[in-house]
Amino acid sequence: MIGQHLLSAADLSRTDAVQILDTAAELASVTDRSVKKLPTLRGRTVVTLFFEDSTRTRISFELAAKRLSADVINFAAKGSSLSKGESLKDTALTLEAMGADAVIIRHPASGAPFRLATAGWIRGSVINAGDGTHEHPTQALLDAYTLRRHVRSGTGDLSGVRVGIVGDILHSRVARSNVELLTTLGAEVTVVAPPTLMPFGIESWPCSISFDIDDVLPSVDAVMMLRVQAERMAGSYFPNEFEYSRLYGLDSRRMELMPPESIVLHPGPMNRGVEISAEVADSPRAVVVEQVRNGVHVRMAVLYLLLGGLPESTTGELHEEGQVG
């Protein structure tokens, strides 16, 4: 059973991860069928605390919490006291005083959710919605969930499934969480990037490393393309976006190298024409839109398990509550 917080994909055991993913599938089947809203978190207060702009992640969490009947408060850096320089601590104390049961935090500083969870400022659950260049565990969970539905004929077993993660690994919290979670679930991950965009010490990570996407694509079940930020150009990580796109971008020609059943993931938002061509983004093999839909179910599962307590039989309770709601 997962603990009080979800801070890092590295904290999840295989059992924890499978439980979250199975719960997400149950919640998906219930909410997609007839009942959009479950009463599980009625009367609980969930805060989305976003210090960075990320509309898609925030509304995904918001929708997930609302489908579980939680009261949701959106606390954004813009238009709040945060823009006047209020500290993380004072913001946390404010949320604690208002009785937040869970705080979903997105923050530009790596480790900020850990501080929030461990500094003694609040008692509620903390969910990491992306911290700096560290982790983004619910993104990895939704990616794993999406993979489960597509590879191995949707049997849900990721053992031995081969996943390529391509792009700015150095600055990517998505990559860190995915390497941790997917390898925990038994997948074989290869990260692909120019050496300048590989984290120091990546040789000791539980994944393979390649500098050549064309070597990797023929043997993947899925490839995950990461967004390349424009500011990386100024840091001399690579010469320019055209060279990056030529060497590491996924276009139709490269997609032909991939096995026929393999899929393309992207955490969004996409830079069409840079890391992914429009043809690939719009192709049936790209599951980007489905990832967004799956994100809501996975985040429902996380909230459900962290705040709702673990029922005797997840399936039974879900159906029961579904009927009540």
CB of 47 to another protein, least distance (A): 17
* Residue type, position 111, single letter: G
CB of 185 to another protein, least distance (A): 19
Active-site residue flag, 84: yes
Could you say which of 57, 138, 184, 190 is catalytic? 57
Could you say which of 14, 56, 253, 272 is catalytic? 56
Looking at residues 165 to 194 of the shown chain, list those that interact with another protein (rule: CB under 8 A).
173, 176
CB of 245 to another protein, least distance (A): 25
Query: From residue 58 to residue 97, what is the string marking binding to another protein with x (rule CB under 8 A)?
Result: -----------------------------xxx--------
**Residue-wise DSSP of 178-196:** HHHHHHHTT-EEEEE--GG
Asked if 105 and 49 touch (Cβ cutoff 8 Å), the reply is: yes
Looking at residues 187 to 246 of the shown chain, list those that interact with another protein (rule: CB under 8 A).
199-202, 204-205
CB of 85 to another protein, least distance (A): 10
Asked if 100 and 48 touch (Cβ cutoff 8 Å), the reply is: no
Active-site residue flag, 57: yes
Active-site residue flag, 56: yes
- Identity of the residue, 197 or 300, whose beta carbon is nearer to another protein in the bound complex: 197
Looking at residues 243 to 302 of the shown chain, list those that interact with another protein (rule: CB under 8 A).
none
Residue 297 is encoded by which pair of tokens?
Answer: 């179910």
- H helix intervals, the chain: 14-33, 55-67, 88-97, 112-118, 137-150, 173-184, 213-216, 241-248, 252-255, 278-281, 288-307, 314-324
71 DSSP β-pair partners:
45
Q: Give the C-alpha separation, 142 to 123, whole Å.
A: 27
Which residue from 107, 149, 266, 297 is in contact with another protein, where contact means CB under 8 A?
107
Asked if 163 and 140 touch (Cβ cutoff 8 Å), the reply is: no
- Identity of the residue, 143 or 221, whose beta carbon is nearer to another protein in the bound complex: 143
Which residue from 26, 62, 101, 131 is in contact with another protein, where contact means CB under 8 A?
131
Which residue from 22, 69, 111, 209 is in contact with another protein, where contact means CB under 8 A?
111
Size of the site for another protein (CB under 8 A): 27
The residue count for the chain: 325
Cis peptide, bond prior to residue 269, ω within 30 of zero: yes
Cβ of 12: how many Cβ atoms within 10 Å?
Answer: 23
Q: Give the C-alpha separation, 174 to 274, whole Å.
A: 18
- Can you give the binding site for another protein, defined by CB under 8 A? 10, 87-89, 107-112, 114-115, 118-119, 131-135, 173, 176, 199-202, 204-205
Residues recognised as catalytic: 56-57, 84, 106, 136
